[in-house]
């Protein structure tokens, strides 16, 4: 992938945030990485999505050094950086404050899997990531957000492509994918699943999550045999 390709892909995914209904104001950012070069691009901070151009995309390396870009990178840059360094399987990350998924984040409630719509994207309940400690917030908020996300998926034994979403407590969701656009699509799926779950619980507060045999079937269909990354 050329640097121009990377900038185009990351710009396209960020420009798709608003039309997808996931963001208000500038409450979101998408990044993408070219694993061959180790260079990755992210939305500049606070920039209006509709006016974003590929040349605005800020390019960094996996040490966090600025490689190219005139604008300040997203305020969540260190979170994305940590995830790229710890999850070599992912190629893109999306962070938004989408309305319903953020409700689960703020309530500290994992997002249960009530149906196949959810099962087609996420292998079970979308986990809550712990709140940061006062020391973590003080020393490096965004870096420790990434640390807490990685800790959570590892303690659950979940691969970041079988569970390409987490709900950061008191904050909002982060999703991952094979590309920037794939991570955005996972954010769209997450927001829809959050809306469906809230409606499901309204209609039936005692609704049980999807049976495991159906969840496993959808995981198998999506990832193929032998791709189960987690611990049974
Ligand atoms: O989570 C936050 C702030 O709480 C950020 O995601 C902002 O909502 C977007 O910041 P920029 O990407 O524009 O710096």
Q: Which domains does the chain have, with CATH numbers?
A: 3-223 (3.40.225.10)
Q: Catalytic residue, from 56, 76, 120, 141: name it.
A: 120
Cβ-contact 74, 44 below 8 angstroms: yes
Dump strand ranges (E) for 20-127. Answer: 28-34, 39-42, 58-60, 66-68, 92-96
Among 7, 35, 28, smallest CA distance to 178 is for: 35
Instruction: State the pLDDT at residue 220.
Output: 87
DSSP conformation class of 43: P
Instruction: State the pLDDT at residue 232.
Output: 44
CA of 44 to the centre of ligand 1 (A): 10
Record the pTM. 0.96
CA of 196 to the centre of ligand 1 (A): 26
Active site annotation includes 229: yes
In angstroms, the CA 204 to CA 108 distance is: 20
- Sorted by sequence, the CB contacts under 8 Å of residue 25 that are 6+ apart come out as none
Instruction: State the pLDDT at residue 90.
Output: 97
Instruction: State the pLDDT at residue 219.
Output: 87
Instruction: State the pLDDT at residue 225.
Output: 81
> Atom of ligand 1 at shortest distance to CA of 73?
14
CA of 77 to the centre of ligand 1 (A): 9
Is the CB of residue 80 below 6 angstroms from any atom belonging to ligand 1?
no
**What ipTM was reported for this prediction?**
0.94
Chunked into runs of 10 residues, the chain (232 residues) has average pLDDT values of: 97 97 96 98 96 98 97 98 97 98 98 97 97 97 98 95 97 98 98 98 97 92 75 46
Is the CB of residue 76 below 6 angstroms from any atom belonging to ligand 1?
yes
> Atom of ligand 1 at shortest distance to CA of 72?
14
Instruction: State the pLDDT at residue 229.
Output: 63
Instruction: State the pLDDT at residue 230.
Output: 58
Instruction: Calculate helix-pair angle for 180-203, 99-107, nearest 10 degrees.
Output: 70
Residue nearest to atom 9 of ligand 1 (CA): 27
CA of 76 to the centre of ligand 1 (A): 6
Is the CB of residue 229 below 6 angstroms from any atom belonging to ligand 1?
no
In angstroms, the CA 167 to CA 170 distance is: 9
Please write down the long-range contacts of 152-156, taking CB distance under 8 Å and 24 or more positions apart.
152/127, 152/128, 153/127, 156/127, 156/230
Instruction: State the pLDDT at residue 228.
Output: 63
């Amino acid at each position: 992938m050329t640097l121009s390709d990377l900038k185009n892909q990351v710009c396209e995914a960020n420009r798709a945030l608003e039309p997808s209904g996931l963001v208000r104001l500038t409450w979101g950012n998408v990044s993408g990485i070219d694993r061959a070069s180790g260079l990755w691009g992210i939305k500049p901070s606070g920039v209006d999505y509709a006016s974003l151009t590929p040349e605005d995309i800020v390019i960094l390396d996996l040490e966090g050094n600025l490689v190219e870009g005139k604008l300040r990178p997203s305020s969540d840059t260190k979170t994305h950086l940590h995830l790229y360094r710890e999850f070599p399987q992912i190629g893109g990350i999306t962070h938004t404050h989408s309305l319903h998924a953020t409700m689960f984040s703020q309530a500290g409630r994992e997002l249960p899997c009530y149906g196949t719509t959810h099962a087609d994207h996420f292998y079970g309940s979308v986990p809550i990531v712990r709140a940061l400690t006062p020391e973590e917030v003080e020393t490096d908020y965004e870096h420790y957000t990434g640390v807490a996300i990685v800790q959570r998926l590892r303690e659950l034994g979940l691969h970041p492509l079988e569970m390409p979403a987490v709900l950061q407590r008191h904050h909002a969701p982060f999703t991952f994918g094979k590309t920037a656009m794939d991570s955005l699509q996972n954010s769209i799926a997450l927001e829809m699943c959050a809306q469906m779950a809230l409606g499901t619980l309204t209609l039936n507060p005692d609704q049980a999550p999807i049976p495991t045999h159906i969840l496993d079937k959808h995981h198998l269909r999506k990832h193929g045999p032998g791709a189960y990354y987690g611990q049974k």
